[in-house]
Amino acid sequence: MNICIAGGSGFIGKNLRAFWENKGHQITLISRSDFETNEVYKKIANKELLVNLIGEPIIGRWTKAKKMAIYNSRINTTKMLVDAVNTTENQLKSFINISAVGLYDDSHIHDENSTHYATNYLTQVICDWEAQIKNIQDMDIRKIILRLGIVLGKDGGLFRQLLLPLHYKIAFSIRNFKGLPFIHMKDLLSIFDFVLNTPTVKGIINGVSPVQVDWFNFLLCLNGKIKPWIKINIGLDFIRLVLGESAILITGGQKVIPAKLINAGFTFNFPDIRSAIDDLMVFNKHYIESE
């Protein structure tokens, strides 16, 4: 299949490109510069699937400039992709746009039908982001909004960042017992492939593992892989002081169920945090506690 990926050089994009190329698919990438040179229109021509992964990382303190970059990199680029789809002769059958479960509140358990949203900046971004997909005019194009939690992979993202203190036998603990939705990169790639090959799956999809975990137990499980020399308990007030508005990424949380995937018959290889961490630590044996 001819597939076009916008944002194929990022953490998810690099893995997805390699995954699908190994399956024999033809991959064309859309970079940020393509939006400036109007190459988007040419690149989506004759493609059957368009995947949009572009977005400024949300990690870090949300300054005014950072918030603008987070918003524009999602809303403006998605709008341009939709405009290109609407005005270009193409063979597009499906459009997959990633999103985030961060729009859900921390008081309810959420499946794809939930409308219990948080009231913060991130929710505004996500709602405006997803609204762009509704502007696709061709009703025959299947539209998928894949709401992701934290993606855990061996070569990037949160997990890779946490390995550095573990390497020096430093363990961190955060007493946040709200939900921490996550997905193992291998399961995420399988979800993309499952969606590609299951035409009945469409609309909003929660791309998270089915077994709930929180920050405290996630770090407890991860720290169990070493014999730490130093244990540091990080208070939520300290996180708010350091990170400001973006602290909600750590002090908040959601409990999310991937109901559509489960009902459609998708099988998770890493349904819980222990199985995910065990697999990821195989690639980092020097961090594992010796018997």
pLDDT in tens, 110-151: 999 999 999 999 999 999 999 999 999 989 999 999 999 999
One-letter identity of residue 230:
I
Residues of the chain above pLDDT 90, percent: 79
255 forms bridges with which residues in the sheet? Answer: 109
Confidence of residue 81 (pLDDT cuts 50, 70, 90): very high
Residue 66 sits in a domain of what CATH number? 3.40.50.720
In a domain, residue 132? The reply is yes
In a domain, residue 16? The reply is yes
Rounded to an integer, what distance in angstroms lies between the CA atom of residue 107 and that of residue 172? 25
**Closest CA relative to residue 117, chosen from 239, 252, 214:** 252
What's the pLDDT at 285?
57
What's the pLDDT at 290?
41
Confidence of residue 225 (pLDDT cuts 50, 70, 90): confident
Contact 140, 191 (CB under 8 A): no
In a domain, residue 189? The reply is yes
What's the pLDDT at 89?
81
pLDDT at 289 over 60: no
Q: What is the mean pLDDT of the chain?
A: 92
Residue 96 is inside which H or E element, if any? strand 94-100
Locate 154 and state its tokens.
């061996």
Confidence of residue 288 (pLDDT cuts 50, 70, 90): very low
> How does pLDDT run across 30-53, given as a tens digit for each residue?
988 888 888 898 899 889 999 999
In a domain, residue 32? The reply is yes
In a domain, residue 127? The reply is yes
Contact 5, 16 (CB under 8 A): yes
Residues 6 or more apart whose CB falls under 8 angstroms from that of 50 comprise: 3, 4, 6, 44, 81, 85, 92, 94, 95, 96
In a domain, residue 244? The reply is no
In a domain, residue 240? The reply is no
Residue position matching structure tokens 């819980």: 272
DSSP three-state, residue 101: helix
pLDDT at 196 over 50: yes
pLDDT at 183 over 70: yes
Looking at the 3D structure of the chain, how many domains does it have?
A: 1
- Enter the pTM of the model: 0.93
Phi, psi of 72 (to 5 degrees): -65, -35
Residue span of the structural domain in which 46 resides: 2-151+183-208+257-268
The arithmetic mean of pLDDT across residues 1-14, rounded, is: 93
In a domain, residue 58? The reply is yes
The arithmetic mean of pLDDT across residues 235-251, rounded, is: 94
